Structure 1
Amino acid sequence: MGKIRLNNIRVHSNHGCLKEEMLIGSDYRVDLEVDADLTKPSKSDKLNETVDYVHLNNIVKDEMATRSNLLEHVAQRIIDRILSEISQVTHVEVIVSKINPPIGGDVESVAVVLNAQR
């Protein structure tokens, strides 16, 4: 087994329940970790035998571009796409963080962490 991590994927999107969030948007950070059997590609050096992190990044960018009220919803959509599109993945953890959230305090970020396995 092995892990592939994509750290600090930065995007600007319009998630949230407040009208301002829907119109202006916010900055987000996504961290992603997937488990897969990496034994074969570690020996063969062939991209088609591993989990392509470009594909993972594109899934994250696509789903972050689709507006949701809740971070939980967008995180679950990312998980669902990864598990449906990349058969080698056995476990996914996704962390979606809203940077500088409008919650009436000095808070760097809020985050939702979701996990799923096949």
Structure 2
Amino acid sequence: MGVIEIEGMKFYAYHGHFEAEKVVGNKFEVNLRIETNCSKAAASDNLDDALNYQSVYETLQAEMKIPSALLEHVAQRMLDALHNKFPAIEHARVKISKMNPPMGGEIEKVSVTLER
């Protein structure tokens, strides 16, 4: 078993419940942790035997482009897409953070983490 982490992915997207969030958008950060069997790739040094990080990133990027009212919904869509596209993933955890959320105070970020 191996762990692959893609951390600090930055996106600008239009997720949020309030109308202003849907129009103005916001900055988001995504962190991903994947558990998969890495033994074949570790032995062969061949990308064809590995989980392609670039394809994983592109999958998350596509989901971030689809506006949602809730971060929970975005995170669930990401997990569904990852498990559907990459059957070698045994377990995944995704954390989505909305930076400087419009909550009436000085808040660095609010985050949602889901895993499957």
Q: Same fold (TM over 0.5)?
A: yes
Partner amino acid, structure 2, of 1:105 = G
**Partner of 1:19 in structure 2?**
19
Shift of 1:90: 0.2
Partner amino acid, structure 1, of 2:11 = V
For 1:33 and 1:61, locate their aligned partners in 2 and report how far apart those are by CA, in whole Å. Answer: 16
CA contact (8 A) 1:34 1:89 kept: yes
Partner amino acid, structure 2, of 1:47 = L
In percent, how many aligned pairs have the same letter?
34
**Partner of 2:43 in structure 1?**
43
**Partner of 2:57 in structure 1?**
57
For the residue of structure 2 that corresponds to 1:15, the secondary structure is coil
Cα displacement string for residues 13-60 of structure 1 (whole angstroms, at most 9, x for unaligned residues): 000011110001000000001000001100101111111100110011
> Where has structure 1 moved over 3 Å in runs of 4 or more?
none
**Partner of 2:70 in structure 1?**
70
Shift of 1:70: 0.2
Partner amino acid, structure 2, of 1:42 = A
Name structure 1 gaps, 5 residues minimum.
none
TM-score by length of 1: 0.97
TM-score by length of 2: 0.98
Cα displacement string for residues 46-80 of structure 1 (whole angstroms, at most 9, x for unaligned residues): 11111110011001110000000000000000000
Q: RMSD between aligned alpha carbons?
A: 0.5
What count of residue pairs does the alignment treat as equivalent? 116
